[in-house]
Amino acid sequence: MITLLSGGTGTPKLLRGVRCHTTDQQINVVVNTAEDVWISGGHLSPDIDTVMYLFAGTLNTETWWGIAGDTFLTHKALLDLGTDEYIAIGDRDRAVQIARGELLTNGKSLTEATTILCRNMGIKAGVLPMTDSPVATMVRSSGEYIHFQEYWVRCRGSIPIDAVKRVPESPPPATEDVIKAISEADAVIIGPSNPVTSILPILECKGVREALREQYVLAVSPFIGLAPFSGPAGELMKAKGFPPSSLGTWELYRDFLDLFVQDKRDTVTVPGAARLDTMMTSEEKSRDLAKGLFGLMEMHYG
Ligand code: GDP
């Protein structure tokens, strides 16, 4: 069994490759939920949705969110009615969010709701929300904290930010399923997801770092030089007080990490790191990176 910690872009790209080397039944994915929001009556869990759609074979892999070929009729109609739906939600994507919202409103936990949705989508891998407690990533801009989605989607990441926090501030408990998936795995891979908004929220869940310290853990850097491959990871690292680089990423994980993997072109040096081609610009490149990581694991286990 292999367990990955994931956000909604970098690690799903790697998962696409991991699936070429093992069966879905052998994969568990612990997924960030700190970007979840209720919107237009549905429950949006962007990272869980991306991972579920990937396994279901329906993901839009041009954008790495939403369902391929989805339509936006309801979104357009809602805007015409004057609602403030600042995230463009596709029609079939919305059906998932409504179904999840119903399950949660009727007393299911997020883990239970995700299990039901996965079963109904024919997904064989384990898709595990990091916690069943609501938690949100907030960023500070001009002295005021706003939800990460407001910053990244509504404001398109164009406003300056100088601090990041989780609300509530006391760490939520990881679910039992998450701790089990980490503890019972042959290895854990932290994919090249955004350290501050995707991976740290998982690491902050009670019990996760302790479980990782007992495991063989590899992490792949989402940075080359002083810039991420994509997205706001650099700004968020700076707002959190860490260098926006592989070195900063490694510092966040080093207390439990066994092997850090950087891109072969990265100009920043991390002591003891392995080097691979981590630019997953195609399915083939995702597969090659996954193969390289499995090779490193085999070397470790002899
Ligand atoms: P989010 O939830 O959409 O922010 O997605 P993630 O947190 O899972 O992934 C975002 C991170 O993925 C960004 O920091 C990117 O730098 C990284 N990323 C995207 N594509 C690649 C890639 O091909 N290679 C590597 N190494 N990182 C990538």
Torsions phi, psi of 134, nearest 5? -65, 135
107 C-alpha to ligand 1 centroid (Å) = 33
Question: Which pTM was predicted?
Answer: 0.98
Protein residue with least CA distance to atom 21, ligand 1 = 10
Residue whose C-alpha is closest to residue 83's, from 111, 41, 30, 122: 41
Asked if residue 192 has its Cβ within 6 Å of ligand 1, the reply is yes
- 229-276: per-residue pLDDT in tens? 999 999 999 999 999 999 999 999 999 999 999 999 999 999 999 999
Atom of ligand 1 nearest to the CA of 221: 26
Is residue 119 situated within a structural domain?
no
Give domain status of residue 228, yes or no.
yes
Give me the number of domains the chain comprises.
Answer: 1
In a domain, 210, yes or no: yes
Check pocket membership of 131 for ligand 1, CB cut-off 6 A. Answer: no
DSSP state string for 13-38: HHHHHHTTTS-GGGEEEEE--TT-EE
Q: What is the pLDDT of residues 176-210, one digit of tens each?
A: 999 999 999 999 999 999 999 999 999 999 999 99
What would the two tokens of residue 103 be? 């399950």
Is 30 domain-assigned?
no
Query: What tokens were used for 21?
Result: 């080397």
Q: Return the pLDDT at 302.
A: 80
Computed over every residue of the chain, the mean pLDDT equals 97
Task: Give the residue among 125, 135, 131 at the shortest CA–CA distance from 175.
Answer: 131
User: CA-to-CA distance for 234 and 243, rounded, in angstroms?
Assistant: 8
Number of neighbouring beta carbons within 10 Å of residue 285: 16
Is 158 inside any structural domain?
no
CA 72 – CA 90 distance, rounded (Å): 5
283 within domain boundaries:
yes
Question: CATH no. for residue 213?
Answer: 3.40.50.10680
Query: Per the domain annotation, does 161 fall within a domain?
Result: no
Residue range(s) defining the domain that contains residue 294:
178-301
